[in-house]
């Protein structure tokens, strides 16, 4: 893989998809439908998916592509592939909360090694650079040239005063019970893959997810967190979370900054 090209293409497509999403977000109203699994989908999901899919297929025609909106058509046996969630946090989008993201990642041998997470309503853009290190870009997000990039790195956590981030739309009693095992200084809620990015920047230390997620929900954020020195592991045995699983479904997991003394399930 040409990682210089991959970085540029993923960044460009995330920004273009973000523009389309914000165009629909600004409308007085937009249609919301339910998919077969009862999850919501909007015109923004579908428009962003079309932009990203076309761009990735043109740039990398020989690399398998998995996207949330086309998941039913994907073969299941794949370990190296591109994976996309064109609008992660659709519920946040519908409620106009702003905590939604565009997610594009590249998985090699079951591990996400490159990714971009763009939160267009919040003006935050995170991605792995050509070397695999994670950065946050600031500025005007010009599509032709990258703006100032600041390397990001996980914090050194204090296990007596941890910073925890949890899902805004999927918080439940099991998650609260697990979080209660830790000494917490502060806890915040966030939507979509932004939770991974908050750990990557040192704004949080720990994100446990005890609920159903799919690989396209996590791959880009996982890549950004890894490039910032963080880890994502299975909840049950603390082994690395892998990709290319049957139907692309994740087990429960924990994302964290190394140094957090993980509690058992």
* Joined tokens for residue 258: 């190394």
DSSP 62: T
Report the pLDDT value the prediction gives residue 34, as an integer from 0 to 100: 57
CA pseudo-torsion sign 111, 174, 85, 198 = negative
Residue written as token pair 């908050």: 198
Cα gap 50→255, rounded to integer Å:
30
Choose the CATH number for 162-256 among 3.30.420.40, 3.40.50.150, 1.10.150.20, 3.40.190.80: 3.40.190.80
**Which three-class secondary structure state does DSSP give residue 254?**
strand
Sequence-separated (6 or more) residues with CB below 8 Å from residue 11: 116, 125, 127, 137, 146
Helix H or strand E segment including 24: helix 3-25
CA-based nearest residue to 188, from 220, 170, 165, 209: 165
* Joined tokens for residue 108: 């090699």
Task: Supply the pTM of this predicted model.
Answer: 0.94
241 alpha-carbon distance from chain centroid: 14
CB burial readout 51-65, b (16+ within 10 A) else e: bbbebbeebbeeeeb
Long-range contacts of 44-49 (CB under 8 A, 24+ apart): 44/20, 44/87, 44/93, 45/69, 45/86, 45/87, 45/90, 46/86, 47/17, 47/20, 47/21, 48/17, 48/18, 48/20, 48/21, 48/86, 48/87, 48/102, 49/84, 49/86, 49/87
Domain ranges of the chain: 3-151, 162-256
Strands 162-167 and 184-190: parallel
Instruction: Kindly give the parts of the chain with pLDDT less than 50.
Output: 36
CA-based nearest residue to 84, from 113, 116, 44: 116
Cα gap 82→164, rounded to integer Å:
29
Report the pLDDT value the prediction gives residue 131, as an integer from 0 to 100: 97
Helix H or strand E segment including 108: strand 101-108
Same fold, 3-151 and 162-256: no
Cα gap 95→26, rounded to integer Å:
12
Look at domain 3-151 and name its CATH class. Answer: alpha beta
Report the pLDDT value the prediction gives residue 150, as an integer from 0 to 100: 96
CA-based nearest residue to 195, from 103, 132, 265, 68: 103
């Amino acid at each position: 893989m040409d990682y210089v090209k991959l970085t540029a293409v993923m960044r460009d497509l995330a920004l273009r998809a973000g523009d389309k999403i914000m165009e629909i977000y600004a409308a007085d109203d937009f249609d919301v439908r339910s998919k077969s699994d009862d999850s919501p989908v909007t015109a923004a999901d579908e428009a962003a998916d079309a932009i990203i899919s076309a761009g990735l297929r043109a740039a990398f025609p020989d690399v398998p592509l998995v996207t949330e909106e086309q998941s039913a058509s994907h073969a299941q046996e794949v370990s190296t592939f591109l994976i996309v969630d064109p609008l992660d946090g659709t519920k946040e989008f519908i409620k106009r909360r702003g905590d939604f993201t565009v997610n594009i990642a590249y998985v090699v041998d079951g591990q996400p090694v490159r990714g971009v997470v763009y939160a267009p309503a919040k003006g935050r853009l995170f991605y792995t650079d050509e070397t695999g290190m994670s950065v946050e870009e600031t500025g005007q997000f010009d599509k032709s040239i990258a703006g100032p990039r600041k390397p990001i790195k996980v914090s050194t956590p204090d296990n007596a005063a941890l910073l925890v981030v949890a899902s805004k739309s999927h918080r439940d009693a099991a998650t609260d019970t697990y979080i209660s095992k830790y000494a917490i200084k502060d806890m915040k809620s966030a939507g979509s893959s932004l939770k991974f990015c908050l750990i990557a920047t040192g704004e949080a230390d720990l994100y446990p997810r005890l609920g159903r997620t799919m690989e396209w929900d996590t791959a880009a954020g996982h890549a950004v967190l890894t490039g910032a020195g963080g880890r994502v592991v299975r909840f049950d045995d603390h082994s690395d979370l892998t990709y290319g699983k049957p139907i692309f479904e994740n087990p429960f997991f924990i994302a964290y900054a190394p140094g957090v003394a993980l509690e058992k399930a």
